[in-house]
Structure 1
Amino acid sequence: MAEQLDHSTKTPFEGDARQAQHGWMQRRAAMKSMAAITALAAINVGRAEAQPTAHGAQMARGPFVAGGDGTRLFYRDWGTGKPILFCHPWGLNSDIWEYQLTELSEQGVRCVAYDRRGHGRSEDPGRGYDYGTLAGDLAAMIEQLDLHDVTLVGYSMGSGEAIHYISRHGRERIARLVLVSPVAPFREDHSMLDSFTAGLKKDRPAFMAAGVPFFLGKDSGTSPAMAQWVLDQFLIASPKAVIECNRSIAGDDHRALLGKLSIPVLIIQGDHDEVSPLELTGRKLAEAIPGSELRIYEGAPHGIALTHRDRFTRDLIGFMGNG
């Protein structure tokens, strides 16, 4: 009688063969999946390459502009309409304009604010902190964003940058100028420069922290959080930049440039400004700039864009409408 085979039992060879076949089928399925993924990736790459124009141009522009020597300058560009361009104070950055940018951009104004080299999010090249180079950075911002009919706002050190820009690059793109808590057109006494620099080199955080009450005013009623926010801006600025920029402020003489500002000029300053005393700065500028207007805020400190932000913003809007 022939022996019957039990088909439920596999020989060792049959088990190996079945395992090999199963492994081959798994590899085949995996290869098909990889082929599908590769094909899909190729389609997506093709789509991206087929339409680079709008997205690519925007990505290339990004949030930076190349300054005169290629230094990358961070900027914000909010809103549409007539442009207003903000230059911030020494040691701070474009964040200081938060309340003006938010309000004005909602009222049909194009607001542009940038960080000076070595400040905020801009690059820190370790050089170029003289007014000539800084004016070149401002020119690059205006030209690369193609701004025309600009209301140029210079705050503290930014006032010197704005004046030097107009002197060096002309006023064709500038419709009006606002100088806020400006620096002196000339400093005869440089005795404080060395002690100022020594304070920065010895304990920069403590030195900056001690200066915040003078910036915001000791009786302005600003919150501790606001004071900390201002201090944080000071502390992220490059130590090299703040020292060199202070030397530029101390050594600059732009008196000869003031008589040539043949555009509407508004000077806004507080009579409690302990950083740039009114009689030595805003008052002298008003006397030297033909046809300029000096608007004094009673009781206001140097940090007028924060402590008197509502009035200050209204004055900017009014000046843009009247200029």
Structure 2
Amino acid sequence: MTTFTTSDGCEIDYRVDGPAGAAGTPADTLVLLHGWSQSRAMFDRALPTLSRDVRVVTYDQRGHGESAKPDHGARIARLAGDLRELLDHLQIAEAHLGGHSMGASVLWSFIDLYGTGRIRSLIIVDQPSACVVLPWMAAGEGAQAGAILDFPAAEGFVRAIAEDDRATRDGFLKSMLTPDIPDDDLAWLGTENLKLPAPWGARLLLDHVMQDWRDVLPRIDVPTLVLAGEVSHVAPESQAWTAGQIKGARLRTFTKEEGGSHFPFFEEPAAFCQEVSAFVAGRA
């Protein structure tokens, strides 16, 4: 277990994989961020392939996985600060950054706060630019951005998480996976999800789903890859819209056979690894 401690006292667990030579080449570092209630271990099936030519850093965001469970910092902006401090700790001046689900929101917050000077390229994996239909959205804008909740549904979801309603947590996890996922895989994912404490996780979830990142997208000025899933609970059309807002962004939609649910790197990592490795290699 390798850890570092953030400026506000939170111990973060991280892992570094890859060839020794890549450690001295900041441009050849790929940092992957997991989503809400997930963990860095969910990338483990992809690591052997992704780390063949580049250094790959994965870590448990605060409150998740093996990282500390503080009472404070349940905000996307604080998670973005944690990323910046991790880069500083590892002396990474510039890296390829990939965010899955909420991890993509953390990257958008990172860009909003700190700019793109430390980003070699950006990889967005299956995340709406707005999760909730917000009051300032015109008709249709929410769906365009990928919003999957309205205000009452968001309140009910967050309240159920805060009360540690296991049926809600299990149902949400299953909704993000293909129906025929093996039982042992589902059980393992469920165990990883439950490492996130319910009350703290609910606070983070509320902050996450109430964000609107659409104004950040046109300001992204680094090479960007947007990955979508044909059978994901996140509408593939919303990911196409996201890619269209980022100048020069490339879109790739995985089919069901390619693991095109919300977790392509876990269910069928081969296609995911091929796409990400080629993208990163083209910008090394």
Which TM-score bucket, shorter chain as reference? 0.7 to 0.9
Query: In the alignment, which residue of structure 2 is the partner of 1:103?
Result: 49
Separation in structure 1 between the aligned mates of residue 244 and residue 155 of structure 2, nearest angstrom = 30
Q: CA deviation at 1:71?
A: 1.1
- Quote the offset at 1:297 in angstroms: 1.1
Partner of 2:89: 144
**Which residue pairs with 1:277 in the alignment?**
235
Q: Does 1:204 align with 2:162?
A: no
Counterpart in the other structure of 1:190:
151
- Kept in 2: contact 1:65–1:140 (CA 8 A): no
> 1:70 deviation in Å?
2.3
Q: Which has the higher contact order (CA 8 A, sep 6+)?
A: 2
| Pairwise CA distance, 1:90 | 0.7
Compute the TM-score of the two structures, normalised by the length of structure 1. 0.75
Could you tell me whether the CA contact under 8 Å between 1:68 and 1:133 is conserved in 2?
no
- TM-superposed deviation, 1:169: 1.8
1:295 matched residue in structure 2: 252
- How many residue pairs get matched? 257
Is the contact between residue 186 and residue 252 of structure 1 (CA under 8 Å) also seen in structure 2?
Answer: yes
Distance 1:279 1:70 in 2: 41
Higher helix share: 1
C-alpha separation between the residues in 2 aligned to 1:152 and 1:245?
A: 21
1:320: Cα distance to partner?
0.7
Shift of 1:152: 0.4
Which is higher, the Rg of structure 1 or of structure 2?
A: 1
- The equivalences for 1:87-166 within 5 A come to 87-105=33-51, 107-166=52-111
Give the conservation status (yes or no) of the 8 Å contact 1:83–1:148.
no
How far has the Cα of 1:202 moved from its partner? 4.2
**Counterpart of 1:222 in 2: which secondary structure?**
coil
| Partner amino acid, structure 1, of 2:59 | Y
For residue 186 of structure 1, report the CA deviation from its aligned partner. 5.6
Partner of 1:245: 204
Unaligned runs of 5+ residues in structure 1 are 1-61
1:82-131 residue CA offsets vs partner (Å, 9 max, x unmatched): 211010011011011101223222x1221111111111111111221212
Distance 1:246 1:286 in 2: 24
For 1:74 and 1:233, the matched residues in 2 are separated by: 14
CA offsets per residue over residues 157-190 of structure 1, 9 Å max, x none?
0001011112212322210000001133363232
- Contact 1:135/1:165 (<8 A) preserved: yes
Instruction: Give TM-score, length-normalised by structure 2.
Output: 0.85
Q: Is the 8 A contact 1:214 1:301 kept in 2?
A: no
Alignment correspondent of 1:217: 178
Identical amino acids, percent of aligned pairs: 24
| Structure 1 residues 241 and 277: CA distance shift in structure 2, 3 A | farther
Aligned amino acid, residue 235 of structure 2: P
Partner residue of 1:268 out of 209, 219, 227? 227
1:204 Cα offset (Å) = 3.0
Does the aligned pair in 2 maintain the 1:76–1:114 contact within 8 Å? Answer: yes
From the superposition, tell whether residues 216 and 201 of structure 1 become closer, same or farther in structure 2 (CA, over 3 Å): same
> Which one of the candidate residues 268, 272, 276 is aligned to 1:316?
276
Q: Give the counterpart letter for 1:172 in structure 2.
A: G
> Which whole-Å CA distance do the structure 1 matches of 2:152 and 2:205 have between them?
13
The offset of 1:230, in angstroms, is 0.5
Q: Give the equivalent residue in structure 2 for 1:50.
A: none
- How far apart, CA to CA, are the structure 2 residues paired with 1:254 and 1:169? 15
